[in-house]
Structure 1
């Protein structure tokens, strides 16, 4: 669907379900976009793009076996498109957001921050070196503080897989940061 006329032709129940769906998930989309883009205008462009793409094919989206996971895939693509359009690294002022995420992880996974000496750029670079799924898990769990059942829903995986992937991501971060620590199961 590409025009407002076509959107108007969609069954009213589908139109009604589109708005609450977007309202429920937009906070997470916006936060992930902010974590990647760091520019309020780019964040808004990405969120508008997500909503537009969902609206244009809402009936098709509803036919997906996992609507949330499909929407998450669309969100990541729209955010990546905006990120590629800038070709820039984030400004220094936003890098401490990543430190907040890792400090939250520190309490549960014993990631040592002492050897970083407040080098937020090194921390940011380490997070960016994570595989995509592990990156998603660190952002969703520690920056956005989303619980594992909802993360599993977003990504179309099991809760156990979400916990395992997060644990693997934290272990990889420990290695990337040169931390000599032990792994502790996350709650």
Structure 2
């Protein structure tokens, strides 16, 4: 039996695992977390910041900070919620350096409309699309996040919940409140569809 195979109390061994092994497991868990979120985080940051370079900078900085604090992050009540909040901090810092959310979002809306990607059809608001995006930019933070992820980036409720750390029921509730708020702001009659 080699020294690495023993589990006695000696320096470099924690709970039967070498510290190096523990470090590799932490690194692997971070890598899995990173790979599962890299694309959606980049998409969200790009929408928020209006450009790939700024989005890349924000996401890279958020992942770097997350990696450096990874053991503590794993002890948080919701790793997903902690990580999402960290990403949003980095995005907000860069957005605050340039244009505000409303300006970027309205420009993004024009781009998406030019691509023929109208959404929120159930609100009947397509003819007010720029006004719609302006209204979205004024939503409370959680409603804004779920609308951006669910409708603009077209992620299903489960994925939105996974990315933000919100329970699925909370995602759905925020979607309902956001729709009501947007309909009211746009002067559109809106009632919740049957069963929804």
Same-fold call, TM cutoff 0.5: yes
Distance 1:87 1:66 in 2: 31
Of 168, 173, 176, which aligns to 2:177? Answer: 168
Gaps of 5+ in 1: 1-7
CA apart distance, 1:162? 1.1
CA distance 1:104–1:49, shift in 2 (3 Å)? same
- Higher relative contact order, structure no. (Cα contacts within 8 Å, ≥ 6 residues apart): 1
CA distance 1:96–1:56, shift in 2 (3 Å)? same
Q: Is the 1:102–1:142 contact (alpha carbons within 8 Å) kept by the matching residues of 2?
A: no
**Greater CA radius of gyration, 1 or 2?**
2
CA RMSD between the two structures: 2.7
Distance 1:101 1:174 in 2: 22
CA distance 1:185–1:63, shift in 2 (3 Å)? farther
When the two structures are aligned, how many residues end up with a matched partner? 174
Q: Does 1:17 align with 2:32?
A: no
Distance 1:44 1:70 in 2: 20
Indicate the residue corresponding to 1:132 in structure 2: 141
Q: Is the 2:105–2:137 contact (alpha carbons within 8 Å) kept by the matching residues of 1?
A: no
Gaps of 5+ in 2: 1-19
Indicate the residue corresponding to 2:14 in structure 1: none
Indicate the residue corresponding to 1:103 in structure 2: 118
CA apart distance, 1:92? 6.4
Distance 2:55 2:31 in 1: 19
Distance 1:105 1:125 in 2: 14
CA distance 1:186–1:141, shift in 2 (3 Å)? farther
Q: Is the 2:105–2:134 contact (alpha carbons within 8 Å) kept by the matching residues of 1?
A: no
Q: Does 1:153 align with 2:162?
A: yes
Indicate the residue corresponding to 1:4 in structure 2: none
